[in-house]
Amino acid sequence: MNLVEELDRVPSQYLKKLTKTDELWEVRVTVGSNIYRLLGFFYGTNLLVLAHAFQKKTQKTPRQAIKLAEKRKHEYFERKGRKR
């Protein structure tokens, strides 16, 4: 998480835009032999809002996790009073 916060250009092994989503980004974290993914979106140019996290057990990001993160993104922007 410190890399995402501190670096101007974060390597794609740690932060990657997910294709075929509503502008979601995936933060990749490995702790020991456990792999975690945090899904989020940008609010403005500098704020990455994390909307969902899960332990990754398969190659593919679960569609249900993506849908939940997209739902939370839409709810966030509704509360902020603006669309993306």
Is the confidence at residue 5, as pLDDT, over 80? no
Mean pLDDT for 4-14 is 71
Is the confidence at residue 60, as pLDDT, over 90? no
pLDDT for res 84: 53
Domain locations in the chain as residue ranges:
15-82
Three-state SS for 23-35 is CCEEEEEEECCEE
Can you spell out the DSSP letters for 2-68?
A: HHHHH-SS--TTTEEEPTTSSS-EEEEEEETTEEEEEEEEEETTTEEEEEEEEE--SSSPPHHHHHH
Q: What is the distance between the terminal CA atoms of the chain, rounded to a whole angstrom?
A: 24
